[in-house]
Amino acid sequence: MKGTLWDTLGRSLLPFYFLLVLAYLVVPLLIVVPLSFSDTTYLVFPPRGFSWRWYAEIFLNPAWLKAFQTSLLLGVITAVGATGLGTLAAMAIVRFSRKTSFTIGGAFLVPQIVPAVITALGAFLLLHALGLLGTFTGLVIMHVMMALPLVVVTMTAALRQLGESLNLAARVLGATPLKAFWYVTFPAVAPSLAISAIFAFFISFDELIVTLFISGSHVTMPVRIWADVKQELTPVVPAAATLLTVLVAVLVIPIELYRQRASIRNRV
């Protein structure tokens, strides 16, 4: 009787808990987005008027536009590099024994475990020694390194779920390793590849601390936002944050819907 009572109470409180968590995640957006349309030159909530002025500032101001272009190019290169390297690493990891793959997989998580300031200092010293400090190439190297853990974890899980049976069947039927991957493995893990690439892109697009240490003259959007916050906090900062949020939603939501449909098809 007591168990039934607690079960009923838990089921009754679950929707409330869900709404509470959702509100916790969404409330910051409900504040930032309206601020981006303010017609004042300072931040005040609720906004006293409506204006597209600050969005125009991002695309008409050469400094903001250059920062957006730099972040976009850096994010795309990081997504391609991290997804390619991470997928190859995941393919190797799933072929090791459980103990070995756990150890190697844990090593890939180091950039996410170590405090960002420590990583930034190490990146600064390494790139300085290589003569790449303040270069775009140095930025790419470090952003790919920071995006690799997520790609490796995602692709390792996807490849383990797929298993080796389909790939082995293709090999038995005469397919080369490359053809087996391209015609069997790749279509099955394509949704996970897409998700990995998108999140690698946004890890690069949102990175601030390491970029501050090594970027030099290559100013990215987060660095530009940080500089604007320190110098003059205007609604252009919420406008930039809103644009980033919209960009995330436009890329992530379709991929997630595709992944869910692919998962349902695979179950059937």
Residue 173 three-state SS = coil
Residue 174 has pLDDT above 80, yes or no: no
> Is 4 inside a domain boundary?
no
pLDDT at residue 29, as a whole number: 72
Q: How many CB atoms lie within 10 A of CB 40?
A: 14
More confident residue, 40 or 73: 73
Instruction: With respect to residue 156, please indicate whether it lies within any of the assigned structural domains.
Output: yes
Q: Choose from 23-37, 60-74, 90-104, 185-199 the range with maximum mean pLDDT.
A: 60-74
Residue 77: the pLDDT is 93
Cβ–Cβ under 8 Å, residues 127 and 214: yes
pLDDT at residue 81 in the model? 92
pLDDT > 70? residue 170:
no
In a domain? residue 94: yes
Quick check: helix, strand or coil at residue 179? helix
Residue 220: exposure state from Cβ atoms within 10 A (0-12, 13-18, ≥19) = buried
Q: What is the pLDDT of residues 254-267, one digit of tens each?
A: 776 766 676 666 55
Q: What is the spatial distance between Cα 57 and Cα 262, in angstroms, rounded to a whole number?
A: 41
Residue 9 confidence class, pLDDT cut points 50, 70, 90: low
What confidence score (pLDDT) does residue 1 get? 47
Dihedral sign of CA atoms 148, 223, 116, 29 in order: negative
Question: How many H-runs (helices) and E-runs (strands) does the chain carry?
Answer: 13, 0
* Backbone torsions φ then ψ of 232, nearest 5 degrees: -155, 105
As a residue count, the chain comes to: 268
Assess if residue 118 is contained within a domain: yes
Residue 61 belongs to what domain range?
53-267
Q: Is residue 10 part of a domain?
A: no
* Between 39 and 149, residue with greater pLDDT: 149
Return the pLDDT at 131: 87
pLDDT band at 134; cut points 50, 70, 90: confident
Largest CA-CA distance found in the chain, in angstroms, rounded: 71
Q: Is 39 among the domain residues?
A: no
Question: CB–CB of 43/239 below 8 Å?
Answer: no
Are 134 and 217 in contact by the 8 Å Cβ rule? The answer is: yes
Under the banding of pLDDT at 50, 70 and 90, the label for residue 167 is low
Please give the mean pLDDT across all residues of the chain. 78
15 alpha carbon, distance to own chain's centre: 29
Residues with Cβ within 8 Å of 265's Cβ and at least 6 positions away in sequence, in order, are: none
Query: Number of folded domains in the chain?
Result: 1
What are the residue ranges of helices labelled H in 94-164?
98-108, 110-113, 116-130, 136-162
Distance CA 80, CA 94 (A): 21
Q: What is the mean pLDDT of residues 119-126?
A: 87
Give dist(CA 195, CA 207) in Å, integer. Answer: 18
Question: pLDDT tens-digit profile of 219-244?
Answer: 888 888 887 777 777 778 788 778 87
Residue 183 lies in a domain: yes
Q: What is the mean pLDDT of residues 130-154?
A: 88
CA-closest candidate to residue 240, choices 113, 100, 71:
71
Question: Is the pLDDT assigned to residue 146 strictly greater than 80?
Answer: yes
Does 140 reside within a domain?
yes
Instruction: Select from 34, 29, 27, 68 the least CA-distant residue to 51.
Output: 34
Tens of pLDDT, residue by residue over 43-86, are: 777 777 777 888 887 888 888 888 888 888 999 999 999 998 98
Closest CA to 138 of 67, 65, 220: 220
- Token readout for 18 is 């869900």
Domain at 166, CATH number: 1.10.3720.10
